Chain A
Amino acid sequence: ARLELLGDILAEKPQEKKAINNALVLSGLPIVDSARIERLQVFIRDKFLDKHGEVVKFSMPTDENGNSLGFALCCFQTDQQALDALTDIQGASLDKMHTLNVFKFSDFNRLADADDEWKPPEKAPFVDRGDLRSWLREDRCHDQFGVLHTAGSVATIYWHWPGDPQPVDSATRNNWTESRLHWSPLGTYLATYHTKGIALWGGEKFEQINRFQHKNVQIIDFSPCERYLVTFSPSVTKEDPHAIKMFEVDTGKMKRSFLHEQAAKWPVFKWSHKGEFFARVQTGKALQVFETPSFSLLDKKSISVQDVQDLSWSPTDNILAYWIAETDNQPARVILMTMPEKREVATKMLFNVADCRMHWHPQGNYLCVRVNRYTKKKLDADNTPKYINIYTNFEVFRMREKNIPVEKIEVTDAVSCFTWEPHGSKFAMVQGIASKGLSVVFYQVNAHDIEKVKVLEKRNVNTISWSPIGQHVVLAGLRSANGGLEFIDTSDMKTTANQEHFGATDIEWDPTGRYVVTTVSFWHVKVDNASHVYSSHGTLLYKLNKLERICQFAWRPRPPTLLSDEQIKNIKKNMKTYSRRFEKEDLQSSTRASKELLEKRARLKTEYEKWRAKLLEKFRGEKQKRLELRGVDTDELDSNAQDFVEETLEFPIKVERIRIDKLPQVAE
C-alpha cells in the first residue's frame, strides 16, 4: 500500500522544465541606484508587461551597491503571453537613451551554449538578377505596358510599338496574378498577388526576383525608391496579428510589422520622397515618423500632436504637412515641418473648418490645402458636429518662395477632382452639382496672384487626367458617365479633340506623356472590353480589342530622367535636327512591320520574281525578232550606244553686268 501512494506523490513532484518558454529577458534598461529601483520596476511592469498577462515572477538583479545592472527577468503564466509581450515591446523606447531589447530566456540558453569557435556563415549563392533596367535600353525607347485579360486569368506584357504592340518574349502567363498587376514606382518590378503573398518579377524575361509572405494580401505599397514593400492583409491570427508588414525588396526580409487597429485609407504609412522616412497618423493623438533602415521611430518617440487628423509628405523634399482639427478653444491649423529636424517652416491658422484635404504639386512646388468651411456649426444629440452651409477654400502654399507665403481662393460651388498640372503651375477642378451642370475650372498660379484662366461649362466630367509632363489634359467622364473625352492643350486652353470611348472605366497616360489609354475594364462592365490608345492631342491611334475581357491596362513607369535642365533645354533648341532624323527612322520603322508582315512580303517577293522570270524568258526568246524589226538592239537604253551622238549644251549659270567706266584703274 505505501508503494502505490508513493507513485502518486512522486508524480506530483515538481519537475524542472526543460524549455523555459514563458520567460523573457529585458535588457537595455537604465542603470539606476537602489533608491529608484522600486520605481523602475513598477514602471516597467505597468507600461510593458501587465497588459500581456499575469507576471508570475519578476526580478531585477542588482550589483553589490544596490544599483540595477540594466536588465530584468520576468515570467508569464503562459507561453503565449510571453510571446505576445515579446512581439509588442521589442524595440520599444523607454526614453531618449534607452531602448528595450527583449529576448526569450530559451534563446539565452541557446546563445550561452553557442560555440566559442566562430564559424563564418555559409555564403548564400549569388543570384544574378540580370539587368533589371533592360527595358529602358530598347532601340527606339518604346515603353512597355501590362494587360490583364481573359477575365484576369492571363497577363501579358507588351512593347508599345505604336499601332502594332508586340508581346514581350515569355511574358504572357496564365494565372500570373490572382487579383491585379502592380508596377513598382520606377518601373523596375512587376508585383503580382497570390494567396500566400506577393511575388516580384523583373529583368528582361520577367523572372521572379523575390517572394514576400503575407497570407491573403489585399493591397500593397512601394516606397518611392523601390527599396521597401508594404503589404496589408485583413487576415490576422493570434500567432500573427500584424496586418501590415514591411519588407526589404532586395533581401526579401521582413523588417517590421504593425498592428492595424483604426480604419484608415491606404496607404496607412506614407513615405518620404527618398524612402528615408515613413509616417502615419494616430488620429487625434500623434504623428509617428519612422526612419529607415532601422525601421524604428525617429528619435525613438512619436510626435505628440493633439487633434492631428492627417499627414502628407512633399513629393520632392523631406517636408511633412499635417493638419489639426479645430477644437472649442483653438482654430484648425495646417503645419509644415521638415524632417528629421522637426522644424516648423510654415503654419496657417484656419477658422470654421469642417475638413481639410492636402494636395501636393507633383514637383513639390506648391501645396494646396482644400479646406471645407462652414458658416454655422451645430452639435448633434451625441455631440458630433454638424456643419451647415459648407463652402470651399483653397489655401495654396508657395513652397519655393521665402517664408512660404499662402494664398487663398474661395469657391462657393461643390468641388471635386482637384488636380495639379505636373511640371506646370496650373490646377483644375470640377465645380458644381450634376443636376445643375458641372463646370471644369482652370487656375494659374502666377508670381503675384492666382487667376482663374478658364471655365468650361456644361461638362459631364468626373476625372481630370493631366499628362505627366504637363500642358495637356484630358477631361473624362468615366464609368457611369458616357465615356466622353475632351483633350485640351492648356497653353492656349484650346480643345484639340473630342472623343468618346463609351463605357470607359479607366484612363492612363504613358510615362512620357505621348499617349493616353482609356479602358473598359471587365471588372466593371462585362461587354466591349477594350483599350483605346490616343495621341496626346486626342487622335485615336488604334484599339486594343483583340484581347478578350481586358481587366486592367497598366503602363510600365519610367525612372525620372537623368538629363539636367540645361541638357533638356539644349535638346529642345536643336529639335529640328533631331526631328528630321527621327522622322526618317519612324518611316522606316512604320514600314518595318511585324514578323508576319515581313514573312508575307518575303513570300510576295518570291512569287513576283518567279512570275517575272517566266516573262523574262519569253522576252529573251523574242530577242531575235526584235533585232529584225528594228535593225538595232534597243533592249536597254544604252544597247545602241554606238548610235549615240555627243552634244555639248551651254547654259549660263550666272549673269553679271559691269559698267566699263567703273573698272578699277590699273596702277602704272
Chain B
Amino acid sequence: FAFSQLSQLNQIMKPICLLGHMRSITQVRFNRDGDLIFTCAKDPHPSIWFALNGERLGSLVGHNGAVWCVDCRWDSKKVLTGSADNSAKLWDTETGKCVLSVDTNSAVRSCGFDFAGTSAMLTTDKTMGYKCTILLYDIRQDPAGQPACQMLVPESKITSAVWGPLSRFLITGHENGDLCQMDVRAQKVIRTEKHHKGAINDIRMYKDGTMFVTASKDHTARLIDSYELQLFKTYKTERPVNSADISPLRPHVLLGGGQEAQDVTTSGAHVGKFDAKFFHTVYEEEFARVKGHFGPINSVGFTPDGRGFVTGGEDGFVRLHSFDNDYFDFEFE
C-alpha cells in the first residue's frame, strides 16, 4: 500500500521546531483564531508561541510540577492550566500573569473552558484517600477555592475530558475505556458507552462540537457523535494512540502515538522514526505518515484553518507543520 507521496511531506514542508521544554510534552493546543500555540510539558512552565513563525510569546510561571493540561478561552484572553502540583491556574494571555489559582486534592488531569468561557472544569486523579473528581468553577469572580459543583467518579478514573455541545454536559474518557456523558450540575451520568478496550488517552472535539475523536491505549482512535455517543468510525494502528484530532478542512484524522516511554529502544534514536499518521475519516484507511519525532507523540492538533498541524512528543519537541499544495489536491477515488 503506497503512501509515498505524502510521506515526502517531511522534505517538502519543513516544520518549525519549537524548543521550549526540557521534558516530554503533555499537551499542545491552538487558540480559536489559530495564531497562538499553547504547549505544556512535564516541566512546570507552559509556553505560548506565535503560530506564524514559532516565536515564543512567553511562558507561564507559577506551577511547581508537571503541567498535564492547558486550554485557551474562545476569545483568547485567558489560559487555564492544570498541574501535578495539585493546582489549577487561570492566566491572562497577554501578560502571562496568574489571575486565579485553585488547589485540589490531587493532580489535575484535564481542564477546559466551557462554551461561554465563564466556567472552568477540572478533573483530578485518583490518589491515596481521594477519588477521581470532576470540579466546576465559576471564574467570573475568584471562587476562593470553592467549586460551584463537583462530582465523584467512583470507578475507573477519568483520563481525558471535554465539554459537550453547548456545555450541557461533559464527555469523559476513562482508564477502562468507558466513555460517559456527565451532567455535573445534576450529579448524574447521562450515558455510558464502552467502545474502547483500553484507557482513553485523549478526546478532541470537531470544530462544531457535534462529534469527537478518541485516542486510546487499545491501538485505535474512534469517531463518535457527541449527542448519543454512537460509534461511527474506527482507525486502527499497531501502537497505542496517545492523541488524535479531526481536520476542520478535509476528511482527515490525525493520530499520534507510540510505545510506552520505557519500551522505547535507543536504536532508532537518530532516525526520528516516530510518526504522525493520517487516516481518511470516512474510509478508515491510512494514507500518509510524517516522521520526525524521536519519541512517542503525546499530543497532536490541526491548525484551526486546517492548513497545518502541530505535534508534541515525548522527546520534548513541538513540531509545527504546514501542508503543501499536494495535500489539498490529494483525493481518494
Interface residues, chain A, with chain B CB atoms under 8 Å away: 583-584, 586-588, 590-593, 598, 601, 604-605, 608, 611-612, 615-616, 618-619, 622, 625-626, 629-630, 634-635, 637, 649, 651
| Cβ–Cβ contact A604 & B283, under 8 A | yes
The reply to whether B33 and A637 contact each other, CB–CB distance below 8 Å, is yes
**Closest-CB distance, A201 to chain B (whole angstroms):** 32
A651 to B282, CA, bound (A): 41
Q: Is the pair A651, B2 in contact by a Cβ cutoff of 8 Å?
A: no
- B227 interface neighbour in A608, A615, A625, Cβ under 8 Å: A615
Cα distance A612–B226 in the bound complex, in angstroms: 12
B window 29-53: CB within 8 A of A: 32-34, 52-53
Which residues on B sit within 8 Å (CB–CB) of A616? 208, 210
Does B4 sit within 8 A of A, measured CB to CB? yes
Q: Evaluate contact between A630 and B117: CB separation under 8 angstroms.
A: yes
Q: Are A591 and B287 in contact (CB under 8 A)?
A: yes
Can you list 26 residue pairs at the A/B interface with Cβ under 8 Å? A583-B2, A583-B5, A587-B3, A587-B4, A590-B1, A591-B287, A591-B332, A601-B333, A604-B283, A608-B233, A611-B232, A612-B210, A615-B208, A615-B210, A615-B211, A615-B226, A616-B210, A618-B210, A619-B209, A622-B165, A626-B115, A630-B115, A634-B32, A635-B208, A637-B32, A637-B305
Using Cβ atoms and an 8 Å threshold, which residues of chain B touch A592?
Answer: 333
Contact among A586, A608, A629 with B115 in the assembled complex (CB-CB below 8 Å): A629
B74 at the interface (CB under 8 A from A): yes
**Smallest CB-CB separation from A615: which chain B residue?**
B210
Given contacts A622-B166, A634-B32, contact A587 B5 (CB under 8 A): yes
Chain B 1-45 residues near chain A, CB threshold 8 A: 1-5, 32-34
> CB-CB < 8 A to B116: which residues of A?
629-630
- A598 nearest in chain B by CB position: B333
Asked if B304 CB lies within 8 Å of chain A CBs, one says: yes
| A586, A615, A618, A635: most-surrounded residue (chain B CB, <10 A) | A615
- Nearest-CB distance from A138 to chain B (Å)? 18
How far is the CB of B322 from the nearest CB of chain A, in Å? 16
- Give the interface of B toward A (CB within 8 A): 1-5, 32-34, 52-53, 74, 115-117, 165-167, 208-211, 225-227, 232-233, 281-283, 287, 304-305, 332-333
Give the complex CA separation of A649 and B53 in angstroms: 11
B166 touches A611 (CB 8 A): no
Residues of A contacting B3 in the complex (Cβ-Cβ under 8 angstroms) = 587
Task: Return chain A residues, CB-CB under 8 Å to B232.
Answer: 608, 611
Question: In the complex, what's the smallest C-beta–C-beta distance from B199 to chain A, in angstroms?
Answer: 26
- Selected from B2, B287, B305, the residue in CB contact (under 8 A) with A586 is B2
Q: A583-B5, A619-B210, A637-B32 are in contact. List 9 more A-B contacts (CB 8 A).
A: A586-B2, A587-B3, A593-B333, A601-B333, A605-B282, A608-B281, A615-B208, A615-B226, A651-B53
- Contacting residues, chain B, for A618 (C-beta < 8 A): 165, 210, 227
> Distance in Å from the Cβ of B178 to the closest Cβ of chain A?
22
Q: How far is the CB of A596 from chain B (nearest CB, A)?
A: 13
With A587-B4, A635-B208 as contacts: A611 and B225 at CB distance below 8 Å: yes
Distance between Cα atoms of A630 and B209 in the complex (Å): 15
Closest 9 CB pairs of A and B: A615-B210, A629-B116, A587-B5, A608-B282, A590-B2, A592-B333, A619-B210, A629-B115, A604-B282
Q: Which residue of B lies closest to A601 (CB)?
A: B283
Report the minimum CB–CB distance from A639 to chain B (whole Å): 11
In the complex, how many angstroms separate the beta carbon of B284 from the nearest chain A beta carbon? 8
Partner of B332, one of A601, A608, A619, A630: A601
B117 CB → nearest A CB, Å: 7
Rounded to whole Å, the gap between the CB of A5 and the closest CB of chain B is: 101
| B211 lies within 8 A of A588 (CB) | no
CA distance A582 to B74 in the complex (A): 46
The CA of A634 and the CA of B227, in the complex, are separated in Å by 20
Q: How far is the CB of A225 from chain B (nearest CB, A)?
A: 40
- A601 contact set on B, CB distance < 8 A: 282-283, 332-333
Dominant secondary structure at the A interface: helix
Q: Which of B3, B283, B287 counts the most A-chain CB atoms under 10 A from its CB?
A: B283
The distance in angstroms between the C-alpha atoms of A132 and B208, with both chains bound, is 58
Bound complex: CA of A590 vs CA of B3, how far in Å? 9
Complex Cα gap A255–B238 (Å): 66
| Contact in complex: B165, A619 (CB < 8 Å) | yes
Distance A619 CA – B52 CA, assembled complex (angstroms): 31
CA distance A583 to B5 in the complex (A): 7
Tell me the bound Cα distance from A619 to B115 in angstroms.
14
- Asked whether A587 and B333 contact (CB < 8 A) given A615-B210, A619-B208, the answer is no
Report the separation of the CA atoms of residues A588 and B166 in the bound assembly, to the nearest whole angstrom: 41
Partner of A626, one of B53, B166, B333: B166
- Chain A residues within an 8 Å CB radius of B33: 637
How distant is the Cα of A612 from the Cα of B206 in the complex, in angstroms? 12
Complex: chain B residue closest to A605, CB-CB: B282
> Closest residue to B206 on the A side, CB-wise?
A615
- A584's partner among B5, B74, B166, B305 (CB-CB below 8 A) is B5
A599 → chain B closest CB, angstroms: 11
**Smallest beta-carbon distance A372→chain B, Å:** 51
**How far in angstroms is the closest Cβ of chain A from B228?**
10
- B211 contacts across to A, CB distance below 8 A: 615
Please determine whether B74 and A630 come into contact, CB atoms closer than 8 angstroms.
yes
Q: Would you give the shortest CB distance from B62 to chain A, in whole angstroms?
A: 28
Distance (Å) between the CB of B6 and the closest chain A CB? 8
Of all chain B residues, which has the CB nearest A643?
B75
Nearest-Cβ distance from residue A115 to partner chain B, whole angstroms: 68
List residues of chain B with CB within 8 A of the CB of A583.
2, 4-5
Evaluate whether A637 and B304 lie within 8 angstroms (CB atoms) in the complex, with A601-B332, A619-B210, A629-B115 already known. Answer: yes
* Distance in Å: Cβ of A540 to nearest Cβ of chain B: 15
Residues on A with beta carbons closer than 8 Å to the beta carbon of B166: 622, 625-626, 629
Q: Inside 8 A of A629's CB, which chain B residues have their CB?
A: 115-116, 166-167
**Which residue of chain A is the closest to B8 with respect to CB atoms?**
A583
CB distance from A402 to the nearest CB of B (A): 50
With A and B bound together, what is the CA distance between A583 and B32 in angstroms?
A: 37
Least CB distance from A220 to B in Å reads 41
- Give the Cβ gap from A40 to chain B, nearest Cβ, in Å: 80
Cα A630 to Cα B167 with chains together (Å) = 12
Complex CA gap A601/B284 in Å reads 10
Complex CA–CA separation, A649 to B50 (angstroms): 12
Query: Which residue of chain A has the shortest Cβ distance to B5 in the bound complex?
Result: A587
* CB closest chain-A residue, reference B52: A649
Q: Which residues of A contact B167 (CB under 8 A)?
A: 629
CA–CA, A189 and B56, complex, Å: 71
Bound Cα distance from A611 to B33, whole angstroms:
28
In angstroms, Cα B117 to Cα A626, docked, is 12
CA separation between A618 and B117, bound complex, in Å? 22
- Cβ-closest chain B residue relative to A163: B1
How far apart sit A626 and B114, CA to CA, in the bound complex (Å)? 12
Name the A residues within 8 Å of B2 (CB-CB).
583, 586-587, 590
CB distance from A14 to the nearest CB of B (A): 89
Q: In the assembly, what is the distance between CA of A625 and CA of B4, in Å?
A: 46
Please report the C-alpha to C-alpha distance between residue A649 and residue B52 in the assembled complex, in whole angstroms: 10
Instruction: Give bound CA distance, A635 to B225, whole Å.
Output: 18
Shortest CB distance B137–A (Å): 17
A598-B333, A601-B333, A615-B227 known; A586-B165 Cβ under 8 A: no
A616 to B227, CA, bound (A): 11
The residues of B that contact A598 with a CB separation of less than 8 Å are 333
CA distance A131 to B8 in the complex (A): 41
| A-side contacts of B332, CB under 8 Å | 591, 601
Q: Distance (Å) between the CB of A535 and the closest chain B CB?
A: 13
Shortest distance from the beta carbon of B327 to any chain A beta carbon, whole Å = 13
Bound CA–CA A593/B1 (angstroms): 11
